[in-house]
Chains A and B, each alone.
Chain A
């Protein structure tokens, strides 16, 4: 064995060791990150009485699926909430991304006059907002969106950050491509749908994912605008429990707690089971988008 070979095997060994340490470290980080998930699932699968007396545990001491049985006992409400939430999340995902990409493309064209002004026009809305009441009045009294599916879809179509992400990515597409298409006489719409969109797949997928999750995680809309139980969103089902518990506490201090039927409040395990049922499906979506994710996010947000 020559000296050189010796050195390289030494290096290889060192490298192997280093890789092992790195992997080990990440396994630990990932374990820490997954830990709360695990706890949530574990509590939801525990026996209620055991928890009341002995507290939570990372592995259920007494295993029970009662909480899930309770959550799905009256399946119409939660299944309906799934349907509603999935419907408007998917619709907004497609529609909002289209609307945002449509404006992002012109904003990325350096030759277009007034594009800085338009960017500012969009950006300004993140700084000043009319506030809760005027927005509520507009949505319910003038646009009549209250208690309709539209309230989930129409407001907040344009997220400025996502437009800027899209814009930055499209800016990265070589200008020559657009120019040559123009010389060939293609209309801007043709260029947009035929070339820009396919080339921007990563960022479009990323924005779609974000839009989807934002809508999925929204509870405020349901709380403010929806009376019809058939239109309640999933996330609000969860938030509602929290609101009722808070009301109970306030009433205790005000001395009116006898008016609240506290036995109607779900138990700890049921609350956790609800949380799992609400969060679970959203997490399953991610792998479908992951292929594009890193690239889309990077180019977009670096410049955004």
Chain B
């Protein structure tokens, strides 16, 4: 009797093990299309990083071209561009992160205070729309505003007796212009996340605060904001992980690739594009790309580790 029970148990266990195995096999098989697609279209071309160490000639191909060691890197690090584009990338991305977060929080909290659901929906929809436009289209809008001869902004200025400004030759104005349009495009979308988190706040907490006589401002500071802090932290950390990457469309399309604006708007991504496309120096382009990837990689590993400490669920991997 006892024996029969053990065999029964063994049988069950093996059945269970079999079942687990079958389950995981099925699960693994689901991953295959994505794994193959990523392998073919992302991993295979990675062979190309060797371009960074070569003097690339068309007729010799990627593998046949001559090795030049770290010469391509040397060129880049020695050039004065290195400092400028690194500074621009880091500085502008930092500005975007800070203004973007503050603006999104502001909009989300204000929206949370609007009681009418219908209104909320309309406002939200309108604010999200710019997110769906390509930078190409946005650049046409910017041009309509800032075009020095036809543009609306200069027409307005001249009405107040101010001489029109030639925006496309005033590099100092562009960090502001780019920030404004980055906000314009993203604030609606970014605020959605915070807004939804606010919807999850336990309303009893707010009621309790109200009973205690808290003003709306106090409620916001002492009840609402603290609940959002973990979310803000995580989102910011993730953004910092990508601080070495610039939104190519924003910097390339909005500035119309005007040379006079490079001092303040040239970022790593546009620089690589130009190195490859205009100068045609594939080796150097690849080298800069590799530097960018490497720094980005280190940053992500660090920020991911931090995120893991704060909230393991929020970490990427």
A residues lining the B interface (CB < 8 Å): 18-19, 22-23, 25-26, 29-30, 32-34, 36-37, 39-40, 43, 51-52, 55-58, 99-100, 102-103, 105-107, 109, 111-113, 116, 118-123, 125, 127-135, 137-138, 143, 154-158, 163-164, 171, 182, 187-189, 192, 213, 216-217, 219, 235, 238-239, 242, 246, 268, 271-272, 275, 278-279, 282-283, 286-287, 290, 293-295, 297-299, 301-303
Contacts of B51 in A (CB 8 A): 131, 133-134
**Residue contact A56 to B144, C-beta cutoff 8 Å:** yes
Beyond A134-B48, A158-B37, A163-B34, 7 additional contacts (C-beta under 8 Å) are A36-B141, A56-B155, A102-B33, A154-B37, A155-B41, A189-B30, A286-B125
B residues lining the A interface (CB < 8 Å): 19-20, 23-24, 26-28, 30-31, 33-35, 37-38, 40-49, 51, 56, 62, 107, 110-111, 113-116, 119, 121, 123-130, 132-134, 136-142, 144-145, 147, 149-152, 154-155, 184, 188-189, 192-193, 195-197, 216, 231, 234-235, 253, 256-257, 276, 282, 285-286, 289-290, 293, 296-297, 300, 313-314, 316-317
Closest residue of chain A to B181, judged by CB?
A36
Please measure, in the bound complex, the distance between the C-alpha atom of A235 and the C-alpha atom of B110, giving whole angstroms: 35
Contacts of A121 in B (CB 8 A): 35, 38
Q: Is the interface of A mostly helix, strand, loop or mixed?
A: helix
Contacts of A283 in B (CB 8 A): 129, 132-133
Please measure, in the bound complex, the distance between the C-alpha atom of A216 and the C-alpha atom of B137, giving whole angstroms: 12
**Residue contact B125 to A298, C-beta cutoff 8 Å:** no
Closest residue of chain B to A279, judged by CB?
B137
CB contacts between A and B, total, < 8 Å: 261
Contacts of B289 in A (CB 8 A): 129, 131
Q: Is the interface of B mostly helix, strand, loop or mixed?
A: helix
Closest residue of chain A to B141, judged by CB?
A36
Residue from A99, A118, A119, A235 in contact with B136 in the complex, judged by beta carbons closer than 8 Å: A235
Contacts of A156 in B (CB 8 A): 41
Contacts of A113 in B (CB 8 A): 24
Contacts of B107 in A (CB 8 A): 29
**Residue contact B134 to A105, C-beta cutoff 8 Å:** no
Please measure, in the bound complex, the distance between the C-alpha atom of A22 and the C-alpha atom of B120, giving whole angstroms: 11
CB distance from A24 to the nearest CB of B (A): 11
Cross-chain pairs A/B with CB under 8 angstroms, 22 sampled: A33-B188, A36-B145, A37-B141, A39-B144, A55-B152, A56-B152, A102-B33, A107-B31, A116-B317, A122-B34, A130-B45, A132-B282, A137-B48, A189-B26, A216-B134, A219-B134, A238-B137, A239-B136, A278-B137, A282-B132, A294-B192, A298-B195
**Residue contact B136 to A242, C-beta cutoff 8 Å:** yes
Contacts of A122 in B (CB 8 A): 34, 38
Contacts A55-B150, A102-B34 given; does A154 touch B145 at CB 8 Å: no
Contacts of A33 in B (CB 8 A): 126-127, 129-130, 184, 188
Please measure, in the bound complex, the distance between the C-alpha atom of A118 and the C-alpha atom of B39, giving whole angstroms: 12
Closest residue of chain A to B26, judged by CB?
A188
Please measure, in the bound complex, the distance between the C-alpha atom of A132 and the C-alpha atom of B49, giving whole angstroms: 10
